[in-house]
Structure 1
């Protein structure tokens, strides 16, 4: 999951614009990522698909994991997608769909 392809997003869908800011995203190689920013803390998790982000079994079986997390010290709950991607080390692929 640390490859360059795994950090380029082809599709991003915002699922919450208030605190927390969160998105469903897919990499160019098809990996689903859950992006979340709450209380100044950002995280990017990888999962089999959107239905698994809160599944303990998925985590226990190694089908889910943490790609990156950070704390910006602000205790904020809202962040732009551009700022989130920069902090997480992710980029939009050319022609990416963002909604």
Structure 2
């Protein structure tokens, strides 16, 4: 299971989304929209530099119905197969 060292929520709902970094420094974009959660890896959190659209290349799950756009970080991590490192920074 991938451990996250730092997670910053950038939007609380519609979609719920976070910027996250693994314990090895890899940046991950976490998003939950329309009942679908996705995790994608990029070089940095600036979407203007991303060469691919977020589509769940690292993880993808369905939870709830097609109108859902809000999920807690804990529920997102569980569904995506991710976890917080013991000393993780969460903001």
Query: Considering the TM-score relative to the shorter chain, is it more than 0.5?
Result: yes
Aligned partners of 2:18, 2:47: CA distance in 1, in Å?
Answer: 14
Aligned partners of 1:79, 1:26: CA distance in 2, in Å?
Answer: 19
Aligned partners of 1:87, 1:15: CA distance in 2, in Å?
Answer: 19
Q: TM (normalized to structure 1)? A: 0.81
What count of residue pairs does the alignment treat as equivalent? 87
Aligned partners of 2:26, 2:61: CA distance in 1, in Å?
Answer: 21
Aligned partners of 2:7, 2:75: CA distance in 1, in Å?
Answer: 14
What CA RMSD, in Å, does the superposition of the two structures yield over aligned residues? 1.7
Bigger share in helix: 1
Q: Which has the larger radius of gyration?
A: 1
Aligned partners of 1:38, 1:51: CA distance in 2, in Å?
Answer: 19
Q: TM (normalized to structure 2)? A: 0.87
Aligned partners of 1:18, 1:42: CA distance in 2, in Å?
Answer: 12
Aligned partners of 2:40, 2:32: CA distance in 1, in Å?
Answer: 12
Q: Give 4+ residue runs of structure 1 displaced > 3 Å after superposition.
A: none
Structure 1: runs of 5+ lacking an equivalent: 60-64
Tell me which residue corresponds to 1:35: 30
